[in-house]
Amino acid sequence: MRTSRIFEIKDLTKFKQRLLEWSLHSREIVWLDSNEYQSENGEYDAILAVEAFTALKTDHFNAFDKLKEYQETTGDWIFGYLSYDLKNDVEDLKSENFDGLQFPDLYFFQPQKLIFLKGNKVEFHYLKMLDDEIDTDFNQISSTDVSSPEKLPNIQVKPRISPDQYLEKVNEMLRHIHRGDIYEANFCQEFYAENVDLNAIEIYQSLNQISKPPFAAFLKLENFNLISASPERYLKKKGKDLLSQPIKGTARRSDDPEEDLEIARELALDPKEHSENVMIVDLVRNDLSRIAKKGSVKVDELCKVYTFRQVHQLISSVRAKIADTIPPVEALRTSFPMGSMTGAPKISAMKIIEELEQTKRGLYSGAVGYFSPEGDFDFNVVIRSILYNSENKYLSFSVGGAITARSNPNKEYEECLLKAKAMREVLSAGKSEV
């Protein structure tokens, strides 16, 4: 179905820049970048998928069934996203909050052109009808001029709820916890701007430059744009192996090396942050056990500190072997949405989240990634991300955190602002109305 060619490149960073610039003429773009993050769990340094040959775009109703049929019928690479609101397909839930972005709930496409980067090699995998374009495209990419970034925009984002309203809602979440309705829930708030004209790729490049996360993504499907600096993997399947890496636990960075090291040490020993992470690990283990071979669910790492440019994070790694009878899409359906973005018990937490949040999450808290022809896949969690609809000119990003019995509402609000820092910086040089 595809013709493949391999070329050697001298400068991976420069080739990435040229590749992104070259891709901008395409109507559909998915760019996934590990930022050369040192991890044995990554398959590629970066992937570019462009120009849909076929596509699936739908609301939540029977979305996973439609995706399963599309993935199996196509039998090819497909790239796209799952929005958080696919929870309504998985469970008897609803999403009735305000939605300024108006993204479809699910959007996947089969790219005509697919380019993988690994070390000093670039692999072109084109549909056979385009195989005579590979050499031409490689030469064009190699000679593409990278445009100088424009001055950062001055977009003033506004909070959907005031700080006082946020504190009230966290206190209401705590009342649910103290009553025993839930143990933990991820509560989020939206920051937004209207009538925005945005060069999405330049914002992505700026955000990626200051964050350098292992699961960065730029997505443009028609007028729907995602600019993601996600540090979190949702779920990966390779052969029979499943890997989920939930994040729970956040601390700031410091320019002082000794202080920075001490902050990381404190995070590693913080009982509240540990309890947040362990509760979600238990939830992920439970989700995976429903589609895993008996006795195969294991926790490789529990509450390990990972350091990124903006923050320190506690990350756990949960592995399993998928049962022989489970189709790839079923592994996603069973575990969706990611436990780190919901809470425990999962369904109760999602119901309370819907009551207390003001905005439909949409692609935020969802996942972006791909399926291979063999049915393997890899998806991130859409956090630390800017969403933009270029048609209605609405821009949005959301931030949140896990609320547990030990949560201090004021500290939770400070954590939200910490997570929003990089996004605010690239949109308005760090200024926003908060």
Contact 231, 37 (CB under 8 A): no
Contact 219, 30 (CB under 8 A): yes
Burial of 150 (0-12, 13-18, 19+ CB in 10 A): exposed
Contact 388, 204 (CB under 8 A): no
Q: In the annotation, is 212 catalytic?
A: no
Q: Which helix (H) or strand (E) holds 379?
A: strand 377-380
What span, in angstroms and rounded, lies between the C-alpha atoms of 151 and 142?
A: 26
Q: In this structure, what are the phi and psi dihedrals at residue 402, rounded to the nearest 5 degrees?
A: -80, 130
Q: In this structure, what are the phi and psi dihedrals at residue 311, rounded to the nearest 5 degrees?
A: -150, 160
Tokens of 325: 């009878």
Tokens of 262: 């001490």
Catalytic site residue from 190, 232, 273, 415: 232
Q: Which helix (H) or strand (E) holds 141?
A: helix 134-143
Catalytic site residue from 113, 169, 212, 248: 248
Among candidate residues 189, 128, 211, the one with its CA nearest the CA of residue 421: 211
What span, in angstroms and rounded, lies between the C-alpha atoms of 19 and 8?
A: 14
Strands (E), 1-85: 2-8, 28-33, 46-58, 78-82
Beta bridge mates, 344: 184
Tokens of 217: 């993504």
Which residues neighbour 372 within 8 Å (Cβ) at sequence distance 6 or greater? 77
Contact 86, 64 (CB under 8 A): yes
Report which DSSP code applies to 237. E
Q: In the annotation, is 232 catalytic?
A: yes
Residue positions annotated with a catalytic role = 232, 248
